[in-house]
Amino acid sequence: MAPTLAELLAVPALGLRVVAGARRPEGLRRPVTWVAASELADPTPYLQGGELLLLTGLGADLDAGAAGYVRRLVAAGVAGVGFGVGVVHAQVPLRLVEAADAAGLPLLEVDRPTPFVAVGKALAGLLALERGERHRRRLDGMRALTAALAEGTDPYPALHRLAMLVDGGRGWAALLDARGRAALVAGHRARREVAERLAGQLRDRPGSASAADADEGGRVSVLPLGTGRRDARPPGFLAVGAGPGADLDHQLVAFAASLLTLDRERDRGVRHVRRWARAATLAARLGHAQPPAPAPALGPLAAPGAPVRALVAPGPVEGLLDALGDDDAVSGLDLDGGWALVVAAEADVDEVLAAVGAVPGGLSEPVAAADPQELAGAVVRARALAERAARARPAAGRAARVLRAGDAPPSLLDLLGPRAAAFAEGVLAPLRAVPDGDVLIAALHAHLAAHGALAVAAERLGVHRHTLRARLRRAGELLGRDLDDPTSRADLWVALTAAGPG
């Protein structure tokens, strides 16, 4: 909005003084769009409205013709009149003062030391400040709208934010569907009927840029959403409204329409993935075969011939995916024990490691994504490396790091390779075959992890030593192994590690 007369009066160097037309305070709140100087008896053919007209009274009849002169200026929409004294008239003519007071037209006295050009420069400075402030508010509004839409798929927060940016928070905004009917409304005093009428006009004229209306109820502007194809009807519309006399920032409104269009297109891009997820859930509930997943839902698993690596690092997996910032490049899964699994294509591994940062993680060797057994073995080995990295003490001044397969000291798991899972299944099968097998496996794991220290293992499990001793005796009998034998301990530890928790 342009600077007001009151703001111009507040510039101390000008020394302007109000002599008439200030009985109504709204008179000084009039916006001033420009400064014009004219001594014509009727300057109105050269005015557009909103000007501060400056004169010295050289050509106009400001005695008998003062009332007509003021009447013409008011009809032309002049914001105010500045009269320079000390040139033709020693003071502002009385008839001009009376006519301006009667018409409510602000009349300012411009003393002779103040040249008219100084008034113009002062207004230009105020206009520049206003343009800068408007530009700042627009950028802040754009950032706020972008942040609101980036928070999720619900467009209402962005719509509400847009309404708060219009008309000093007194505006409104609405999303209309392809038929031009209001589907989502935010703000105050929304004029649905006007918005729907304007949207109907755009719907019947594909390719139209926008439609607007202004009356005593305020201003309404409607923009179509979509990519702007002239041969297609818009998939929806954005309507924004402000109260009487308020301006609409059309650049901000157009930016909001573009953002909502991008949000709609983004939503369309993942729609088939959501449909597949719902179909898969329904199939699981009905006991039907799972529908094949679309490629965007699979990430690196979509190209089964390409090698992938398994990365296990401290979870949750959402934190890792947020750090990566590109869900399409990886697949993630939360593992028990506070670990997270990320599977990435071989070509993306370095970028993934850089995003994850310095963590005690484990990275497998490349395996074929299409082979479930190879992939499962890679996850087991990546987790074993991650646990080894977590137990290791980093050298002084060095952060924890991801252990890569091949870089870490060799282990029996590395020797077994893809056969590790089958080895674990064969060794632990007698325990998994009994109802309390999980309890026995947990007891065995705690016992071996504590290096045979019964009291330590019992405390970790929260059971009495005698209870743990009984469970270990039963596990040894089922397995047909002597738990005090080093070879049996090594076999069991490798099997438990390869099988993973649970």
Q: For residue 387, give every residue at least 6 positions away whose Cβ sits within 8 Å of its Cβ, in sequence order, or none.
A: 362
Q: Domain 5-125 class?
A: alpha beta
Tally of CA atoms within 13 A in the half-sphere of 33 that contains its CB = 8
Q: Which residue has the tokens 């983004």?
A: 266
Place of tokens 């075969």: 289
Dump the DSSP string for 92-104.
--HHHHHHHHHHT
Angle of CA points 208, 209, 212, to nearest 5°: 100
Q: Please tell me the distance from the alpha carbon of residue 69 to that of residue 74, in angstroms, as a whole number.
A: 9
Question: Which stretch, 108-122, 299-313, 396-410, has highest mean pLDDT?
Answer: 108-122
Return the DSSP state at 417: G
Q: What is the largest CA-CA distance in the chain?
A: 125
Note the pLDDT of residue 488: 84
| CA geometry: angle 483, 487, 489, nearest 5 deg | 40
Q: Where are the domains of the chain?
A: 5-125, 151-263, 303-409, 418-499
Task: Give pLDDT tens digits for 451-495.
Answer: 888 888 888 888 888 898 999 898 888 888 888 888 888 888 888
Q: Is the peptide bond before 316 cis (omega within 30 degrees of 0)?
A: yes
Q: What does DSSP say about strands 307-314 and 80-84: parallel, antiparallel, or unpaired?
A: unpaired
The answer to whether the beta carbons of residues 73 and 105 sit under 8 Å apart is yes
Q: Select from 144, 95, 423, 163 the least CA-distant residue to 259.
A: 144
- Give pLDDT tens digits for 25-48: 677 888 899 999 999 999 999 999
- Check: CB of residue 73 under 8 Å from CB of residue 53: yes
Per the structure block, which two tokens stand in for 54?
Answer: 């400056």
Instruction: Round to whole Å and give the CA distance between 461 and 390.
Output: 21
Task: With cut-offs at 50, 70 and 90, classify the pLDDT of residue 404.
Answer: confident
Per-residue model confidence (pLDDT) at position 60 = 81
Coil, strand or helix: which one is 55? Answer: strand
Which CATH code fits 418-499? 1.10.10.2840
Q: For the chain, what is the mean pLDDT?
A: 83
Give the 3-state secondary structure of residue 221. Answer: strand
Average pLDDT over residues 129-148: 81
Distance CA 4, CA 27 (A): 9
Task: Tell me the three state secondary structure of residue 265.
Answer: helix
CATH number of the domain located at residue range(s) 151-263 in this protein: 3.30.450.30
